[in-house]
């Protein structure tokens, strides 16, 4: 395995999450505005029922906490002193955010005051501790799915790589290698063959579960390709929208290296190499570049071969297994056709002197 790119750990403030237009929820802050700049570090939320009972093990303050109808009904059954004690312990954990899901209409704190909440002590103690308290008019399941989708996008681990990402037959090929090895020229040849450019020079990579890495261009370089001698080209303007793609999963990392007679390159393709990006192992190919080699055709074959592997057909391994099978059959036939080995000749033991006839020496 070669090449390791470790994931970064981004964050988002509670204020930015609520203001995100992709959230699709009309959530409203009703208390704890002082903590709106607290950072959310995890994409998953927590249902905090046991924490209200005083069991705080496993509570991660940097995760969004959800209080639904079950948790609210538990608080309502407590005495006023019990509710205050429970909420002071829970909201005193420096939580980044607490969302109440009641399935009711949007909350109007100025018109109705804290008393509209099923548990009015919630807003009072959230205000004291500076914990952002947000109410969602939707049910818990809808709210959780929307928050998950937004945080998956905003908190996805990201890394920028130097390379060129192209879509060849639906396979995302990330071309990597030293400067001036010919990555952009390969991409241009592939575009002329009807394939699509995703990003040139800088590829913005982000992780998506389960175990996928997607690449896209940075905003300033979108749709552009640099070719030495020609300069900066706008591929969308030259060849239309069918020649570009905004985002693509990275399926194969292709390392382009300069040809060297002293280097031994893989000629069988049985053993696979992997390149790690954001903790995901991606198949890697090392292809030498030499004048006269048709790199675009080689990359097209690499993409088609990847499709075959995904379909369960590994040409190199099948070929190797066929050779092994033929050799085994030939060995078996040779052993069965060979004559049986000759039995070893047994020599008779010499007779004892007692059994030999006596000879008269006098005749």
267 part of the active site: yes
183 part of the active site: yes
Helical segments of 36-102, H only: 49-52, 69-77, 80-91
Instruction: Decide if 199 contacts 172 (C-beta within 8 A).
Output: no
Residue 177: HSE in the Cβ half-sphere, 13 Å Cα cutoff = 24
Give, for 158, the enclosing helix (H) or strand (E): strand 158-168
Q: Which of 183, 195, 196, 255 is catalytic?
A: 183
Q: Which of 16, 201, 222, 314 is catalytic?
A: 201
Q: Which residue carries 């790119």 as its tokens?
A: 5
162 part of the active site: yes
Task: Write out the two tokens for 104.
Answer: 């009711």
Q: Which of 267, 345, 348, 362 is catalytic?
A: 267
CA-atom Rg of the chain in angstroms: 36
**Distance between first and last Cα of the chain:** 97
271 part of the active site: no
In whole angstroms, give the CA distance from residue 253 to residue 250.
7
Residue 214's region, left for phi above 0, alpha for psi from -120 to 50, else beta, is: beta
Q: Which of 88, 162, 304, 331 is catalytic?
A: 162
Angle at 50 between CA 46 and CA 53, to 5 degrees: 140
Collapsing DSSP states into helix, strand and coil, what is residue 40? strand
Report, as residue numbers or ranges, the catalytic residues.
162, 183, 201, 267
């Amino acid at each position: 395995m070669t090449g390791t790119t470790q994931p970064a750990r981004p964050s988002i403030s509670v204020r930015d999450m609520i203001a995100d237009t992709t959230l699709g929820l009309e959530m409203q802050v009703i208390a704890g505005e002082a903590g709106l700049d607290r950072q959310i570090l995890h994409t998953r939320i927590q249902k905090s029922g046991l924490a209200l009972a005083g069991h705080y093990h496993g509570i991660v303050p940097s995760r969004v906490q959800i209080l639904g109808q079950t948790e609210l009904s538990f608080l309502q059954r407590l005495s006023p002193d019990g509710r205050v004690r429970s909420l002071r312990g829970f909201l005193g954990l420096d939580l980044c955010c607490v969302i109440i899901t009641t399935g009711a209409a949007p909350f109007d704190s100025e018109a109705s005051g804290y008393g509209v909440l099923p548990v009015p002590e919630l807003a009072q103690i959230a205000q004291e501790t500076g914990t952002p308290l947000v109410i969602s008019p939707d049910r818990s399941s809808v709210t959780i799915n929307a928050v998950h989708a937004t945080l998956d996008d905003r908190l996805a681990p990201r890394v920028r790589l130097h390379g060129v990402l192209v879509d060849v037959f639906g396979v995302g090929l990330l071309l990597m290698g030293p400067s001036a090895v010919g990555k952009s020229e390969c991409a241009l040849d592939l575009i002329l063959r009807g394939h699509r450019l995703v990003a040139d020079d800088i590829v913005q990579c982000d992780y998506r579960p389960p175990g996928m890495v997607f690449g896209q261009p940075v905003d300033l370089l979108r749709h552009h390709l640099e070719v030495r001698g020609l300069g900066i080209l706008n591929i969308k303007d030259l060849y239309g929208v069918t020649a570009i793609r905004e985002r693509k999963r990275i399926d194969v990392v292709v390392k382009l290296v300069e040809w060297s007679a002293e280097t031994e390159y893989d000629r069988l393709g049985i053993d696979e190499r992997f390149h790690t990006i954001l903790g995901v192992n991606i198949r890697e190919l090392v292809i030498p570049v030499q004048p006269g080699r048709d790199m675009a055709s080689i990359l097209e074959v690499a993409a088609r071969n990847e499709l075959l592997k995904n379909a369960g057909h590994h040409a190199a391994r099948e070929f190797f297994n066929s050779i092994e099978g033929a050799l085994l059959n030939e060995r078996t036939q040779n052993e069965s056709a060979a004559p049986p080995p000759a039995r070893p000749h047994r020599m008779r033991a010499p007779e004892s002197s007692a059994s030999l006839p006596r000879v008269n020496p006098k005749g």
